[in-house]
Structure 1
Amino acid sequence: MTPFLKWAGGKRWFVHKHTELLPKKFNRYIEPFLGGGSMFFHIKPQHALLGDANPDVISAYKAIKDDWKNLVQQLEIHQINHSDQYYYQIRAKTPNCLVEQASRMIYLNRTCFNGIYRVNRNGLFNVPRGSKNSVILPTDDFESMANLLASADIRCSDFQKLIDEAQEGDLIFADPPYTVRHNLNGFVKYNEKLFSWSDQERLAESLLRAKDRGAQIVMTNANHASVRELYQDKDFKFLTVSRASSISASTKSRKRFEELVILSHSS
């Protein structure tokens, strides 16, 4: 099942190459940094707690779950009307209806520059129009997504609240925001706008508590000494994997970067 959002730091590459690192059995699936949901759509869990602090992301998932047919109709309208002028008109709007919020989010994600999600100081989406014009994609299967999401608990929430609900046998897949080019430019240890260092510390503490309750954990993070120190001597396992960076204006400048995988179990 192909994710419907293009997301910076998305884990499609992880799904294609490293699913053997996931535990074979678990109870509930918990993903506190949902984003594009690559892992969720790959695993297709029967019971899931899905969350993200981004309200636009959550509105999209909720609209698919609750009213996917109306959502598709709205996307078809966006497709018919798509143009430079229309793009910026939609970008400037702040709809109140859930389906309109979701269709706006998906439309902008698919037609903005490089699929980037960025807001200004007032919290308004400000990415310019990109080169892609397809609003409806051949990989779209919103009906199957709705069926999968039907049993999921979807929340706009801070990650800690979701992780604190994990119980014995649950699986937490944590993919927090972090600097894309940390291997070349240095890990941004204090990035308050993206994900602060205190957030990294809170995440480590939350995951340790969940592990102590018997939850299974798979986390991807920056392969940096400061991150490793947070989980050192806590019975976590470290693996280093590489991926191609997907964030670049030119495909020629995209290179491979290392990421850290932190596990609570033997793979």
Structure 2
Amino acid sequence: MSSFEKVYEDIFNDIDLIEPKPILKWAGGKTQLLDVLKEAAPKKFNKYIEPFFGGGAFFYSLSPSNAVIADSNEELINLYNVVSKDVESVIDELKVMPNDKDFFLDVRAQDTSTLSEVERAARMIYLNRTCFNGLYRVNKQGKFNVPFGNYKNPNICDEDKLRSASNLLKRTKIIHGDYKQVLREYAEPGDFVFLDPPYLPISEYSDFKRYTKEQFYEEDHIELANEVKRLHELGCHVLLTNSNHPLVHELYSEFNISVHQTKRNISSKGGKRKGEDVLVKVEPKRNIIVVPDEIQLHQQVEKYPSTRFMGSKANLLKHIWGVASQFDFDSVADIFSGSGVVSYMFKAQGKEVFSNDYMALSSTFTKALVENNKSKLTEKDLNKLLTLDVETDNFVSSTFKGLYFSDEDNAFIDQVRTAIPYLNNKNKQALAMSSLVRACMKKRPRGIFTYTGLDRYNDGRRDLQLSLREHFIEAVNIYNDAVFDNGQNNKSRHGDAMTARRKADLVYIDPPYYSPYSDNEYVRRYHFVEGLAMDWKDVDIQENTKTKKFKNYPTPFNSRQGAYNAFDQLFKKHKDSILIVSYSSNSLPTKSEMLEILSNYKNNVEVVSVNHKYSFGNQGNKVGQNKNDVEEYLFIGY
């Protein structure tokens, strides 16, 4: 790293330490009420939502890790979007904009439709910093019409403040839209909604409106109050500010209302600068699931062997445990275990775990590390696997010659798969097979078997240079290190989740996702290692296919109606257990349909959203074009 790059990096590290603050002066901003608002805010919440955003003083003060902000002012939302994505270009524009009345009038008169997004963002900050009192006001044609402020030395370009705000806005969903639309789409149980609408009465406090071409009348306040009551029923925390007006007290009489003295900084007459703000505090009507900010997983979880297994929930473990930890339970059934990492996490947290999957390789993983509490592969075991003098059937060497691995690697697979049954217990056999499966997946550039060829995607990385023998020995050590005893009688099953009869206090369901954007064919991706885990018994290889795959297992999750019916059956079957269901926003059934099905069997139904990016793109799309940015949902029924 050059000295210049080091200085530049240090600057941005320092920016991370600066407390974010509003980048605009805003009429009706909540700076004066911050202490009151912070005191009234919930200590824990899932997501922060502010749909009348304006200057965002409260948002910057809270600096939430998961937030949705919105406003009907298009120029305002453009500003925040640009600052979040390209703050340096905004800074460059502002640096050359002078505090000059003629320049101000020229900028004010600009047709924004002719400007770039960056130019529009810089224009808004410039006008805000140099106009009278930082007002934002437009006429009926939507033209900015606040006069020049004649300030001696306004801070037009506060670089540190802009960069600090950018860091916070980068992790925030920013929306241009009506507050009702935003709340209907994003508000969920456990969320914290802050509402700072245009104040009542319209005539007396007109300068406190969000100045857009739209207006906000008394009937709008009545409609807003109805929305607040809906949020209350939904299970949200709500804080709402307004003026101390009789209609406000009438509309929110059932909630906690407090009155606070404030100053009206935009009135030209000193006698009218005092005011009283009302704060309405709305608690959720019912118990809600709130995921803690700091979630602690047992350090053992970190030892689980990593894979690139499709749909693995390794990156969501803290969210899953954050939800599950709200309940009192001793046993868990993970009925679509997949990579096995969720079962392993629950085992590490001290729970009795029943793990199930219809894929043989998945149930092999969990037999090795969830059911198995003590067995490890010894040096003697490893030597037997590597050198046992047994006659092999050369099945892999002949069937898959030239498709996935070299002749040497294929011969090694045949050697180990033939020697595994000679180990003295089932758990050791599972450890050895899991290690061999992992070795095969690591040796493949993308960990999958949907294409053939030995050199495709070979970019020289270490995993592709090691032999399968070297990968296998490494995997044995990794799996041995992950074996531990949690003192519980854990079990692993290979079978259909629809027929699993095991009862548990909590049932975690992570089925194949049915989506119109991508397939859920695990067998197509992993047919080679799935066949390996089964030793190709009862497998009908499709010899006419280039990859020598075999038929997909039948599953109801291959169609929308099939998935809908399967969820209904599963929820009915496990209606006496706490249910946690992982599902995706780009999958079907829809979120509302899932909530409806779950509500048939559970009195309390909630959903927690998690931003997530899947490592697999969709069929027929380039990586940069696919729709793998989604909301991962955790549906909870109790």
TM-score, length basis structure 2: 0.38
Q: Work out which of the residue numbers 110, 114, 119 in structure 2 matches 1:93.
A: 110
Identity %, equivalent residues: 36
Give the drift of 1:224: 1.3
1:177 corresponds in structure 2 to 198
1:249 corresponds in structure 2 to 268
Q: Look up the equivalent residue of 1:166 and give its one-letter code.
A: A
Distance 2:171 2:216 in 1: 29
Distance 1:180 1:226 in 2: 9
Give the drift of 1:175: 0.3
Give the drift of 1:249: 2.9
Mark the CA change 1:117 to 1:45 in structure 2 (over 3 Å): closer, same or farther: same
Number of equivalences: 256
> What secondary structure is seen at the aligned counterpart in 2 of 1:35?
coil
Distance 2:281 2:34 in 1: 16
Give the drift of 1:232: 2.4
1:43 corresponds in structure 2 to 62
Give the drift of 1:100: 0.7
1:262 corresponds in structure 2 to 280
1:29 corresponds in structure 2 to 48
Residue 122 (structure 1) aligned with residue 141 (structure 2): yes
Task: Say what the alpha-carbon RMSD is for the aligned residues.
Answer: 2.4
> What secondary structure is seen at the aligned counterpart in 2 of 1:176?
coil
Contact 1:12/1:38 (<8 A) preserved: yes
Larger radius of gyration: 2
Q: Work out which of the residue numbers 154, 163, 187 in structure 2 matches 1:166.
A: 187
Q: How does 1:135-174 map to 2 (within 5 A)?
A: 135-136=155-156, 140-164=160-184, 165-174=186-195
1:5 corresponds in structure 2 to 24
Q: Look up the equivalent residue of 1:226 and give its one-letter code.
A: L
Q: Work out which of the residue numbers 242, 245, 256 in structure 2 matches 1:221.
A: 242
2:579 corresponds in structure 1 to none
Contact 1:166/1:215 (<8 A) preserved: yes
1:198 corresponds in structure 2 to 219
2:229 corresponds in structure 1 to 208
Contact 1:51/1:157 (<8 A) preserved: yes
Mark the CA change 1:180 to 1:12 in structure 2 (over 3 Å): closer, same or farther: farther
Distance 2:74 2:35 in 1: 28
Contact 1:76/1:135 (<8 A) preserved: no
Cα shift readout 1:215-242 (whole Å, capped 9, x = no counterpart): 1000001211112211223xx2111111
Distance 1:238 1:181 in 2: 21
Contact 1:187/1:224 (<8 A) preserved: no
Distance 1:187 1:225 in 2: 17
Distance 1:121 1:51 in 2: 22
Contact 1:181/1:257 (<8 A) preserved: no
Mark the CA change 1:83 to 1:100 in structure 2 (over 3 Å): closer, same or farther: same
Contact 1:109/1:116 (<8 A) preserved: yes
Q: Look up the equivalent residue of 1:59 and give its one-letter code.
A: N
Contact 1:114/1:130 (<8 A) preserved: yes
Contact 1:48/1:153 (<8 A) preserved: yes
1:110 corresponds in structure 2 to 129
41-50 or 206-215: which moved more? 206-215
> What secondary structure is seen at the aligned counterpart in 1 of 2:96?
helix
Mark the CA change 1:244 to 1:142 in structure 2 (over 3 Å): closer, same or farther: same
Cα shift readout 1:134-180 (whole Å, capped 9, x = no counterpart): 24355842222111111111011111111222111100000001158
Q: Look up the equivalent residue of 2:124 and give its one-letter code.
A: M
Mark the CA change 1:16 to 1:94 in structure 2 (over 3 Å): closer, same or farther: farther
Q: Look up the equivalent residue of 1:202 and give its one-letter code.
A: E
Q: Work out which of the residue numbers 48, 57, 78 in structure 2 matches 1:59.
A: 78
Mark the CA change 1:119 to 1:142 in structure 2 (over 3 Å): closer, same or farther: same
Distance 1:186 1:112 in 2: 20
> What secondary structure is seen at the aligned counterpart in 2 of 1:217?
strand
TM-score, length basis structure 1: 0.88
> What secondary structure is seen at the aligned counterpart in 2 of 1:141?
helix
Distance 1:208 1:179 in 2: 19
Distance 1:71 1:253 in 2: 39
Residue 84 (structure 1) aligned with residue 101 (structure 2): yes
Mark the CA change 1:130 to 1:179 in structure 2 (over 3 Å): closer, same or farther: farther
Q: Look up the equivalent residue of 2:129 and give its one-letter code.
A: R
Contact 1:176/1:221 (<8 A) preserved: yes
Q: Look up the equivalent residue of 2:101 and give its one-letter code.
A: D
Distance 1:220 1:162 in 2: 18
For structure 1, the 5+ residue unaligned runs are: none
Q: Look up the equivalent residue of 2:150 and give its one-letter code.
A: S
Distance 2:252 2:35 in 1: 26
Mark the CA change 1:97 to 1:151 in structure 2 (over 3 Å): closer, same or farther: same
Contact 2:200/2:243 (<8 A) preserved: yes
Distance 1:126 1:227 in 2: 31
Q: Look up the equivalent residue of 2:38 and give its one-letter code.
A: T
Give the drift of 1:254: 5.8
Mark the CA change 1:67 to 1:7 in structure 2 (over 3 Å): closer, same or farther: same
